[in-house]
Structure formats: C-alpha cells, structure tokens
A and B are shown apart, each in its own frame.
Chain A
Amino acid sequence: GAGVSQSPSNKVTEKGKDVELRCDPISGHTALYWYRQSLGQGLEFLIYFQGNSAPDKSGLPSDRFSAERTGGSVSTLTIQRTQQEDSAVYLCASGLGEGKQYFGPGTRLTVT
C-alpha cells in the first residue's frame, strides 16, 4: 500500500519568510510525528499527534514552529519567520500509536 508522503520534496526560502510543509500519513494510522534532521545529524523530535488527544508539542524549538492535523489525517508543519538555522530535512512518520513509526521521504528546507 501507499506509504507516508510529504510535499514539497525540496523547499528553498528566504530568511524571514513563512513556510508550510505537508504530510500525508498511511491510511488508518492514528499517530503522526514530525522530526527534524540537520545535516549529518540524528533525528530530533518536534511534535506528536495521537487521535483526538492534545498534541505533544514538547519538541518544538521555538514559538515560530507550529503544526496542525486536520480530520485526523493530513498534517501541516508551519515555520514562521524562517531563520538559517531552520535549514534541515523535516521528516514525518505515522503509526498506530503502539510504537512502530513509518517515515516519509522528508522535505529538505533551505533558508537563504
């Protein structure tokens, strides 16, 4: 079946602009996660949605970062007033909330 999809695959933006990154999880998955991977680094947790529960936002690095999950499916990660240090690959994963997480291909964000 279809895996997790993310769009765009690449995004170049100017410092100070806002960006929106989209994630389409695997159909039927109730849990959705966003992670960030800086060049040559491990993955850093950002935010976690599980069903209708309040999201776990404990990993968001600043109030410029926010995310929504509409209708329990598609999610959008928004970064306002982008900074150069926001440049990274943003990865989305989905699962059933029991542990296993399946990742999408990521969005490579470059802030110039």
Chain B
Amino acid sequence: GENVEQHPSTLSVQEGDSAVIKCTYSDSASNYFPWYKQELGKGPQLIIDIRSNVGEKKDQRIAVTLNKTAKHFSLHITETQPEDSAVYFCAASMGTGRRALTFGSGTRLQVQP
C-alpha cells in the first residue's frame, strides 16, 4: 500500500520568514495530494491540494509543488504569521479506486513573533 513520509517533524521560523515542508510517497498510482492544517482540539482543515497533472499550485501565501518522477511534493508558506502556527499534514490518494487518504506523520510549525 501507499506510504507517505513527511519532514521535518517540527519547524520553528521567525514571523515573515518562509516555511517549507516536504513529503515523499511510494505508490506511483497516487494522483491526488492535499495538505491539511490542524489546530489544537480541531479537525484537519484542507488548505491546498494538487493533482498529478499539475506541477505547482499557488493560493495567496501558500503554494504546493509536485515532482511525480521523484515522487515528492512540498508545501511552501511565505511571509509566515503567528496564526500559521499549527500541525500540518500531507496526504496522498488515488483519484480512482481506493480514495482514502494516506497521511504523513505531521509537522508542527511554530512561527515566532
């Protein structure tokens, strides 16, 4: 089955700096890659996603890049703010067939004011 590895497990940046979180996946059949933000005591919130026919997607301060050949994808947050502090999870799934998500182990991002 699919295996998703995520790093780093913790990341501390100064407000205004950029943050990058990286994930690798094992199943070449995976074609959908979402990122979730989870705040303490809440469910994961979908913040951005990318499908395998696209190499990069951007939404304001957040961007995701995908390298299908290398089977890795990354989340980039620019101009970080204290409210970006949370745990971020990457995930992968096949758009057809088994559509359940396989999640990475999470990255705790702390933005220092």
- A residues lining the B interface (CB < 8 Å): 4, 31, 33, 35, 41-45, 48, 50, 56, 58-59, 91, 97-106
For the complex of A and B, 9 pairs with smallest distance between CB atoms: A103-B43, A99-B32, A45-B100, A43-B103, A42-B103, A42-B105, A103-B44, A105-B43, A48-B100
Interface centre among B43, B95, B99, by most A CB within 10 Å? Answer: B43
Q: Which of A41, A48, A105 contacts B99 (CB 8 A)?
A: A48
How large, as a class, is the contact surface on chain B? 20 to 34
Per the bound structure, the CA–CA distance linking A43 and B41 in Å amounts to: 14
A85 to chain B, nearest CB (A): 19
Q: Which of B34, B44, B89, B104 contacts A99 (CB 8 A)?
A: B34
Contacts of B68-113 to chain A: CB distance below 8 A: 89, 91, 93, 95, 98-106
CB-CB under 8 A from B43, the residues of chain A are 4, 91, 103-106
